[in-house]
Amino acid sequence: MVMNKKGQTEFFFLFMVGITMFILGFALSSVLITNNSQVRSTLGCSNSSISTDQKVTCGVIDIIAPAIIGIIFGLAGLAFGAKLRGY
């Protein structure tokens, strides 16, 4: 694949954006997991006699951290693949 200087610059820019997004995803993962554990212990999610509303809240807390990290990694993958596909 032969690119002119503008194409090389765009490729390098998107590559750096992708790298930054991956680093951001890895950096946020430990913070989100730690925060997730603290919130679960505060709400008492391990208690079996909590209300239905608290059970739903605990379920959302369990789902949101992997979802945020997955969205960040997906955006990073889009930044990597966008220039490789010619967009």
pTM as predicted = 0.66
Note the pLDDT tens digit of each residue in 12-59: 787 788 888 888 888 888 888 888 888 888 888 888 888 899 889 889
Q: Quick one: 36 exposed, middle or buried, by C-beta within 10 A (0-12, 13-18, 19+)?
A: middle
Domain parsing of the chain, residue ranges: 51-87
CB 57 within 8 A of CB 43: yes
